[in-house]
Amino acid sequence: MLLAIDAGNTNIVFAVFDGEQVRGEWRASTHTDRTADELGVWLMQLLTTENLKREDISAVIIASVVPAIVFNLKTLCRRYFGCEPQVVGDEGVDLGIKVLLDRPEEVGADRLVNAVAAHKFYKGPLIVIDFGTATTFDVVDGLGNYCGGAIAPGINLSLEALHMAAAKLPRVAIGRPKQVIGKATVPAMMSGIFWGYVGLIEGLVKRMEEEFGAKMLVVATGGLAPLFAESTPVINELASDLTLRGLLEIHRRNSRSEKA
């Protein structure tokens, strides 16, 4: 079985694949000072809840946008699963796509993994929107090549910044307001954040399509993707596990290469 690890700025997602089937999926908050043993003990306990043992894991693949945590994740794999993990971005790990940028090494691993998965499952020119700590918009051409994109502050980050910078503005929950015109401070904040984000999505998608020169399929992923997918017609597909599926595809590609 494959253990796929997606280490983001806010959470680390661990998922166990048995072929195409996800046998277990768990999240831990991202802390760079958390040791390999702390993660290992936590993960061993969770494996047992799905009737899995450490011996069931034969391979591991990691994508991380937090460089400081990669060493401990590698140590976790070696110490608890007895294997050397594949790490997206390391030399020798083939993604199967071209990164058409001036400085391809600067692209976050999660964005490239999303591009791999989106091309596999949807084809055609694509825009992948990932609602994470940052909201990223990534363009993938019809051949699966990564063409670049845009990065905006995530909605939770925007809410926190608004609360921190304005003394009289409270923290508010994210939700879809029924009205755009708020009749009090909290509804006005909710409207500005939510409908402002919808406007951001629709505006960037429109401009990207115009610049690319073609209509593009828009795929949304990330924790808040369902909320926004219901609120704008520009989002065509919802893929909550896109990054994990991309890790599975990259692992398979590189495993085939090693056997060839």
Ligand-binding annotation for 145, yes or no, is: no
Residues 111/130, Cβ–Cβ less than 8 Å? yes
Ligand-binding annotation for 12, yes or no, is: yes
Ligand-binding annotation for 18, yes or no, is: no
Q: Quickly list H helices, 82-184.
A: 109-122, 155-165
Ligand-binding annotation for 130, yes or no, is: yes
110 catalytic per annotation: yes
Ligand-binding annotation for 110, yes or no, is: yes
Ligand-binding annotation for 152, yes or no, is: no
Compute the distance between CA of residue 5 and CA of residue 22 in angstroms, rounded to an integer: 13
Compute the distance between CA of residue 100 and CA of residue 148 in angstroms, rounded to an integer: 7
Compute the distance between CA of residue 64 and CA of residue 59 in angstroms, rounded to an integer: 17
Ligand-binding annotation for 243, yes or no, is: no
Residues in Cβ contact with 139 at an 8 Å cutoff, skipping those fewer than 6 apart: 125, 126, 127, 146, 147, 148, 149, 208, 212, 216
Among residues 56, 110, 138, 141, the one annotated as catalytic is 110
Ligand-binding annotation for 9, yes or no, is: yes
Pairing type for strands 59-64 and 86-87 reads parallel
Residues 118/252, Cβ–Cβ less than 8 Å? no
Ligand-binding annotation for 108, yes or no, is: yes
Ligand-binding annotation for 78, yes or no, is: no
Binding residues for ATP, by number, are 6-13, 133
Write out the catalytic residue numbers.
Answer: 110
Residues making up the annotated binding site are 6-13, 108-111, 130, 133, 185
Residues placed in the known binding site for substrate = 108-111, 185
What residues form the annotated binding site for K(+)?
130
